[in-house]
Amino acid sequence: MSYALDFGWLNEALEPILQGALATIFLTAVTAVLGTICSILGAMAARSGSVALRGAIEAYVELIRNTPFLVQLFFIFFGLPSLGLRLDATVAAILAMTINLSAYGTEIVGAGLDAVSRGQREAGQALGLRPRLVFLKIVLPQALRVIFPALTSQVVIMMLESAVVSQIAVRELTYQADMLQARTFRAFETYLVVTGVYLGMSVVLRRLMVQGGRKLLAGGVS
């Protein structure tokens, strides 16, 4: 038996694929921003000296890191409405992705904060800077510079994992692929093309973040 690959459908499929890709980029971008902020807050809270707060953050990180993203997503989208919290699919996806990314991010940012030497903080205090300024202007930028590659990888991983949010009918790239293959009956070709799009997106995203990070963090953020 022989099977000829057929990409004749591709012309009409370009638009939905583009729409899906844009939706995936949107989800990833929103999650990256929210997730980074939450990760910084989480890492700060874990180092605030409050035992209860540290315990809560540790429990959160362990819980998220030891369960699949798909379960977290379904729990939020299907489980929370029974508590009276009904979320739109896109909101649920962003919430689940942010919660997931922040758990890994908290560990990453925390490692970065620990890597900044105490002398830096003490020097800032000796200059009479308020603790908040010492953190924002001295400790955090140095920590971010150390952990930026790790954070970039985690964001790329999150983008790839976001493929499963198609399961709650968020109209991102995989959802569009599902719709396309149901229409064209060319499942393999459809997923092959979309896999290529994902690959391109992850390569470009990684490059953009590395370059952007270098520009943003070079010479210390002020």
Partner 1 sequence: MDFTFWDILRNLLLAARWTALLSLVAFIGGGLVGLGILLARVASRAWLRKCAALYIGLFQGTPLLMQLFLVFFGLPLIGVRIEPWSAAVIGLTLCASAFLAEIWRGGVEAIPLGQWDAAKSVGLHYVEEMRLVILPQAFAITRAPMVGFLVQLVKMTAVTSIIGFEELMRASNAINNATFEPFTVYGLVALIYFVMCFPLTRYARHLQSRTQN
Residues contacting partner 1: total by CB under 8 A: 40
CB of 113 to partner 1, least distance (A): 19
Rounded to 5°, angle at Cα 200 from 74 and 100: 25
Record the tokens describing residue 22, joined without a space.
Answer: 């844009």
Give, as ranges, the residues between 175 and 214 that touch partner 1 (CB under 8 A).
181, 187-188, 191-192, 194-195, 198-199, 202-203
Contact 25, 88 (CB under 8 A): no
DSSP conformation class of 84:
T
* CA–CA gap between residue 190 and residue 73 (Å, rounded): 25
Q: Pick one of 21, 28, 44, 69: the residue that binds partner 1 (CB under 8 A).
A: 69
CB of 79 to partner 1, least distance (A): 4
Could you tell me if residue 138 is left (phi over 0), alpha (psi between -120 and 50 degrees) or otherwise beta? alpha
- Kindly give the residue spans of alpha helices, DSSP state H, lying in 66-186: 69-74, 89-115, 118-126, 131-133, 140-161, 173-184
Q: State residue 180 phi and psi, 5-degree precision.
A: -60, -45
Give, as ranges, the residues between 90 and 149 that touch partner 1 (CB under 8 A).
none
CB of 23 to partner 1, least distance (A): 14
The residue (of 1 and 51) whose beta carbon lies closer to partner 1 is 1
In the stretch 34-63, what mask flags binding to partner 1 with x, by CB under 8 A?
Answer: ----------------------------xx
Q: Which residues bind partner 1 (CB under 8 A)?
A: 1, 3, 62-63, 65-72, 74-75, 78-83, 156, 160-164, 166-167, 174, 181, 187-188, 191-192, 194-195, 198-199, 202-203
